[in-house]
Amino acid sequence: MEDNNLKRSLSPEDRRRLEEKIMEIFKNETHTLSQELQRMLADDLVTAFENRLATIMRIRSKQGD
């Protein structure tokens, strides 16, 4: 059975906080990028994380069938 908490996507506030944390963590690597490109990269990384997590949850739920 799939856990409903893992099934939901991030709230807009949680997503924004995660993007800010990613930007802080990678600031040394991305400091040459414009602020706009840094935000785009952070958004892409959060999206990739959500997609990967959703995929893992689908695989996990199928293994429980």
Tens of pLDDT, residues 4-56: 444 568 899 999 999 999 999 999 999 999 999 999 999 999 999 999 999 99
pLDDT reading at 58 higher than 60 = yes
Is there a contact between 30 and 41 (Cβ–Cβ < 8 Å)? yes
Token digits of residue 59? 């695989």
pLDDT mean over 56-60: 92
Alpha carbons 54 and 1: distance in angstroms, whole number: 14
R_g over Cα of the chain: 15
d(CA 45, CA 29): 14
What is the pTM assigned to this prediction?
0.78
